Amino acid sequence: MIAIAVGKAGMAVKEVYSLEVDELSEILRAWSEKEDAEYRDRWERTRFLALTALLPYQKKGKRLKPTDIAKFPWDNPHGKTTSEDLERIRTMFGED
């Protein structure tokens, strides 16, 4: 935990040793949540940019959605690729 607090979260060694274990744990949990939110935000922006770049090429009557471009683990609560996902990908790339 100390290596993460100092190396990743940017805390000073003295600061880490002045904390109780539960305090350090809570700080690292909050830091991890912040990092995860930033990671997701970067991927969501990338997906949105890809969507806007592809909008002029969408088929008539078919409205592209962000999840048509890329599905992320946080889009599916189970985090698994389904047969519906595979069928959607085949349709998108014309492999009927």
Rg, Å, the chain Cα set = 21
Q: What is the pLDDT of residue 95?
A: 57
pTM for this predicted structure: 0.66
How many whole angstroms separate alpha carbon 17 and alpha carbon 13? Answer: 6
* DSSP secondary structure string for all residues of the chain: -HHIIIIIS---HHHHHTS-HHHHHHHHHHHHHHHHHHHHHHHHHHHHHHHHHHGGGPPTT----HHHH---TTTSTT----HHHHHHHHHHTT--
Task: Let me know: does 5 contact 16? Beta carbons within 8 Å.
Answer: yes
- Tell me: the pLDDT tens digits for 42-87? 999 999 999 999 998 888 888 889 988 898 888 876 656 667 777 7
Q: What is the pLDDT of residue 81?
A: 66
How many whole angstroms separate alpha carbon 19 and alpha carbon 35? Answer: 21
Q: What is the pLDDT of residue 3?
A: 84
